Amino acid sequence: MLWVDGLSVSFERPGEAPLPVLDRISFEVKQGEFVSLVGPSGCGKTTVLRCLGGLHVPDAGRIAIGGRPLHGVDRRVAMVFQSDSLFPWRNVTRNVAFGLEVRRYPRGKVSAITRELVEVVGLAGFERAFPHQLSGGMRQRVNLARALAVDPEVLLMDEPLSALDMLTREQMQLEVLRIWARTKKTVVFVTHQIEEAVLLSDRVLLMSRRPGRIRRDVAVDLRRPRDAGTRRTQAFHAIVDYLGEELSSELGGAAAESRTGVNLTAVGLNDGKA
């Protein structure tokens, strides 16, 4: 489905040598698969996503979807950012409809799609609410519905839950699971929380320090559908512990994310802009 081969990126710096960020990144994502990227601060997780979304041109490498090359911004791909980036003057329905209106969908089809997706993301009854009237979790549901409305082949999600408080974040993780189970979209998800990656994903790609490479490709063999109880299983913690140990090893023994879900920013593992 999604094929990435030899992706390399360097950032230009005035008066200095280019800063290598990605070094020959290669991976595949099957249709309907949910894959997460985790790794140390600055390893290039977000840069990978920006290349997939056509927002950054790599120095080298190839990207293809369904065997067809991907060059620049492509209608086959939609992206959900950390910030909900909603239009404050548009209500829920009109925010969800934005991409469809840009693509000049017929009015009746826009109405049908937005009505269905507002229900899918659990916002029925809030169709006329404006962003300032919604909680952070509700705004991200609108953001997700807007991305799904254009029916992308690949959905990119760049730490979409990181701005939420811990309780809301855990609730939204379950909502992402529910929505993904219903839509079966192919997803590439960036997060700095190992627990979150394991709960949501079919596979977790652990990246090395900059310049980022794929250090480990770990299958998450946990039964679906998953729920809050999944976090309490021995199998779940075994995968979390393994990834934490691998991340600690990559950092030369530095503290890594434990299964307690402590924010990785405290130990320097938040990805930042890279």
pLDDT tens digit string along 10-51? 999 999 999 999 999 999 999 999 999 999 988 999 999 999
Supply the angle between the helices 166-183 and 107-120 in degrees, to the nearest 10. Answer: 130
Share of the chain above pLDDT 90, in %: 84
| pLDDT over threshold 70, residue 108 | yes
| One domain, residues 174 and 227 | yes
Give CA angle at 192 (227, 135), nearest 5°: 65
**pLDDT for position 7:** 97
Range of the domain at 23: 2-76+154-267
| One domain, residues 104 and 220 | no
> Per residue in 207-250, pLDDT tens?
999 999 999 999 999 999 999 999 999 999 999 999 999 999 88
> Per residue in 61-97, pLDDT tens?
999 999 999 888 899 999 998 888 899 999 999 999 9
| One domain, residues 143 and 65 | no
Cα–Cα distance for residue pair 19/22, rounded to 1 Å: 9
In a domain, 274, yes or no: no
In a domain, 162, yes or no: yes
**CATH number, residue 40:** 3.40.50.300
More confident residue, 41 or 144: 144
| One domain, residues 131 and 185 | no
In a domain, 163, yes or no: yes
**pLDDT for position 138:** 95
| One domain, residues 159 and 262 | yes
Rounded to two decimals, what is the model's pTM? 0.89
| One domain, residues 147 and 176 | no
| One domain, residues 105 and 130 | yes
| pLDDT over threshold 60, residue 256 | no
Of 133, 151, 169, the residue that ends a domain is: 151
- Which residues touch 4 (CB under 8 Å, ≥6 apart)? 25, 26, 27, 28, 48, 52, 61, 62, 63
In a domain, 273, yes or no: no
CA atoms within 13 A on the CB side of 118: 20
**pLDDT for position 85:** 85
In a domain, 186, yes or no: yes
**pLDDT for position 253:** 53
**Under a CB-based contact definition with an 8 Å cutoff, are residues 11 and 58 in contact?**
no
Number of domains present in the structure of the chain: 2
| One domain, residues 94 and 23 | no
Of 121, 151, 181, the residue that ends a domain is: 151
The tokens for 112 are 């049908």
Q: What are phi and psi of 9, to 5 degrees?
A: -140, 135
Sheet with 60-65, side-by-side order of all strands: 16-29, 2-13, 60-65, 68-69
